[in-house]
Amino acid sequence: MSKPVLTDADLTVIAEGTPALDPFPTRPWDRERLWAAVLDAQMSAKTRADRETVAEARGALQVLDALERHFERKGER
């Protein structure tokens, strides 16, 4: 039985539809660039609201990482 397929375009659509990732670069899909932007925001977070925003973004990225592990990837790699 083959795994369902997930493309870079699919991940872009999911990320763009995730409010927690609105402040971060989601197009084109680049997992490393997105994680770097979120971790950079974490390092420069000054207020509780900033830290909460970053925590929500980290959680959303963890879900996207789980999706990538579950599905067979088809994309520009």
Tell me the pLDDT tens digit for each residue of 10-68: 999 999 999 999 999 999 999 999 999 999 999 999 999 999 999 999 999 999 999 98
User: Is residue 66 classed exposed, middle or buried when 0-12, 13-18 and 19+ CB atoms within 10 A define those classes?
Assistant: exposed
Domain coordinates of the chain in residue numbers? 5-74
Strand partners, 5: 72
pLDDT band with cut points at 50, 70 and 90 for residue 74: low
Coil, strand or helix: which one is 73? strand
> What pLDDT was estimated at residue 59?
97
Read off the pTM. Answer: 0.84
Nearest to 14 by CA among 69, 70, 64: 64
